[in-house]
């Protein structure tokens, strides 16, 4: 692993330019400062400002508001070494403003209430409507989830749709409306899975369905904690529909095929229906892109069980469906924070994965004052050499001040560093490189090891793994991938590869607009090498591009106000504000 390099002389504090103590100059202003601080604190009480962690240090437990911190920092900057003007103790907002349920045992999932301690404060306000919607959903899941009588009745009807299977006593105990379900099946890499699962969950919220997680193999075990209190989201293994992970565009029960046969939406809906939203779903005549039209939603409305297979972040497509418009606007007054809220609600690493995260963070990242994440992914459809991509990364990181430039050979800074190596650096920066390959980490590490940072910062470069390839069918591979996603989400600034779902999840959980390494042009790095993303939202790579009214091709990047084409993949769409 890389070492801290690049030392700078420690600044002298508490002196004026003439060398005299500045305390006498500050003393006459103390009364005015005290009045100002009290005024700020009064405003906090009156207007309910949000309390956030102070940045005094890793071990500091004081909490202050953003407004109060401005005053405190201004005062403290003139009185270095003095006690803080004010220190307010406040319990950490473990529920993220009402996003998370309080009904969990802390030890059952260590990450649930602790992950936010390692991230920057989120400035994306949670709507009370979304919080209440989540609480209602949790109640529904407890009522209808696996192990309940309602679930058993629903499965019995699925096995024998033509018979009643319901006694008079059961009918009396049944909920006012029968439980309906959405079964999600994993497909592709972990980033794709997390994005499609988030999309499926929002669809379940909008349609009153219970989301169940189909886990056909071992690759997703011991990965996530249960997100819903008092119940499980894991589909029992004795579920009667088999082979769901192998369903495809030609599956007879798919939405597109059913509509093509003139079925769906009738008085006797089928017991179950399949929705195919994998990347190839728009091909052929029997297209499931009608899922994003009223016709498709009408066909699904009364179906008890909907089975979904997707490798897409299809959530922006739900904003194209008119019947969901009002509810979505209440859930997300700012549309560009949908994944940020839902992802932080759903995805809590298991204790096994959280242990990986904490061990790595404590060993390599905890001492840093700034953390920079660099996520590198290459694609066969966008070839570029290792040297050119490395040059693109460095050009972006230096040009946008994400990382400090390095010293020129023979510079005076290099000589000073050799004679003052024991002094403290200006800032300790930890650079976390996440890639399937090790070349980029090695090159960035060697750059700072050999030449040092020009401004006196200490830059250390780390890479947890370099697995050489993607093996999403292996549990340990997915556990390591999730640990790296979490570590990246602790970054203060992040640089990601265009069109990478792994990167989308990381910066979405962090609530950060990433600097995006744009795709190569004719095998070379583009100019400019990167761009600050317009939104923290992931990209829906393969939208339907279908006009439901005209029943012909259309441009979904121009259909509704809050859905626009992606910057990193022009054919895709994403949510913007």
Report the pLDDT averaged over residues 171-181.
Answer: 61
Residue 310: predicted pLDDT? 97
Q: Is the pLDDT of residue 13 over 60?
A: no
- Dmax over CA atoms of the chain, in Å, equals 94
Nearest one of 338, 269, 345, 295 to 550, comparing CA atoms: 295
Q: CA 246 from chain center: how many Å?
A: 28
Residue pair 1/446 in contact (Cβ under 8 Å)? The answer is no
Give yes or no for a contact between 485 and 506, defined as CB atoms under 8 angstroms apart. yes
List % helix, strand, coil for the chain (3-state, nearest 5).
40, 15, 45
Distance of CA 172 to the CA centre of its chain: 43
For 296-340, the pLDDT digits (tens) are 999 999 999 999 999 999 999 999 999 999 999 999 999 999 999
Q: How much is the average pLDDT of 156-167?
A: 69
- Residue 551 in this model has a pLDDT that exceeds 60: yes
> Domains in the chain, please, with CATH?
26-49+51-92 (no CATH), 128-337 (no CATH), 351-538 (3.40.50.11350)
Task: For the chain, give the mean pLDDT.
Answer: 84
Mean pLDDT of 382-394: 97
Residue whose tokens read 């292996």:
474
Residue 44 pLDDT level (bands cut at 50, 70, 90) = very low
Q: What pLDDT, on the 0 to 100 scale, is given for residue 38?
A: 52
Does 430 score more than 80 pLDDT?
Answer: yes
pTM as predicted = 0.82
Could you give the CA distance from residue 165 to residue 429 in angstroms, rounded to a whole number?
Answer: 64
Q: What confidence score (pLDDT) does residue 124 get? A: 94
């Amino acid at each position: 692993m890389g070492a801290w390099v690049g030392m700078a002389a420690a600044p002298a504090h508490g002196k004026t330019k003439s060398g005299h103590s500045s305390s006498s100059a500050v003393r006459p202003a103390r009364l005015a400062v005290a009045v100002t601080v009290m005024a700020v604190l009064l405003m906090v009480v009156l207007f309910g400002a949000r309390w956030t962690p102070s940045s005094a240090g890793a071990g500091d437990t004081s909490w202050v508001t953003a407004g109060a911190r401005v005053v405190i920092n201004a005062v403290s900057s003139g009185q270095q070494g003095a006690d803080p003007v004010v220190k307010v103790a406040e319990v950490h907002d473990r529920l993220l403003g009402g996003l998370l349920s309080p009904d969990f045992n802390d030890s059952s999932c260590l990450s649930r209430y602790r992950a936010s301690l390692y991230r920057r404060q989120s400035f994306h306000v949670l709507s009370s409507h979304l919080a209440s919607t989540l609480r209602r959903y949790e109640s529904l899941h407890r009522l209808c989830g696996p192990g309940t009588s309602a679930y058993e009745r629903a499965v019995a009807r699925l096995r024998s749709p033509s018979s009643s299977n319901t006694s008079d006593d059961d009918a009396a105990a049944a909920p006012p409306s029968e439980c309906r379900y959405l079964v999600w099946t994993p497909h592709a890499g972990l980033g794709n899975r997390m994005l499609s699962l988030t999309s499926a969950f929002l669809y379940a919220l909008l349609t009153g369905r219970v989301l169940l997680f189909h886990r056909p193999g071992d690759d997703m075990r011991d990965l996530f904690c249960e997100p819903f209190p008092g119940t499980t989201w894991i589909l029992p293994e004795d579920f009667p529909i088999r082979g769901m992970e192998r369903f495809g565009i030609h599956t007879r029960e798919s939405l597109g095929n059913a509509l093509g046969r003139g079925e769906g939406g009738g008085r006797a809906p089928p017991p179950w229906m399949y929705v195919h939203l994998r990347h190839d779903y728009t091909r052929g005549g029997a297209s499931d892109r009608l899922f994003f039209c009223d016709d498709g939603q009408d066909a699904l409305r009364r179906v008890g069980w909907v089975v979904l297979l997707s490798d897409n972040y299809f959530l922006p497509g739900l904003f194209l469906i008119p019947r969901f418009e009002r509810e979505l606007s209440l859930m997300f007054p700012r549309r560009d924070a949908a994944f940020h809220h839902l992802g932080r609600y759903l995805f809590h690493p298991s204790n096994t994965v959280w242990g990986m995260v904490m061990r790595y963070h404590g060993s390599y990242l905890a001492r840093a004052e700034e953390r920079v994440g660099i996520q590198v992914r290459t694609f066969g459809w966008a070839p570029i050499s290792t040297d050119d991509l490395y040059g693109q990364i460095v050009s972006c990181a230096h040009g946008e001040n994400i990382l400090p430039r390095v010293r020129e050979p023979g510079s005076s800074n290099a000589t000073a560093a050799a004679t003052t190596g024991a002094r403290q650096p200006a800032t300790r920066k930890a650079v976390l490189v996440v890639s399937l390959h090790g070349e980029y980490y090695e090159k960035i590490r060697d750059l700072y090891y050999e030449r040092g940072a020009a401004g006196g910062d200490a830059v250390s470069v780390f890479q947890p793994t370099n697995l050489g390839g993607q093996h999403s069918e292996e549990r340990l591979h997915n556990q390591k991938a999730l640990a790296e996603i979490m570590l990246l989400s602790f970054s203060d600034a992040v640089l990601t590869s265009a069109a990478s779902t792994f990167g989308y999840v990381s910066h979405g959980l962090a609530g950060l607009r990433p600097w995006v390494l744009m795709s190569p042009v004719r095998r070379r790095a583009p100019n400019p090498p990167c761009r600050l993303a317009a939104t923290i939202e992931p990209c829906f790579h393969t939208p339907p591009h279908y006009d439901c009214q005209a029943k012909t091709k259309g441009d979904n990047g121009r259909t509704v106000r809050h859905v626009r084409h992606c910057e990193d993949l022009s054919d895709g769409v994403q949510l913007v504000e």
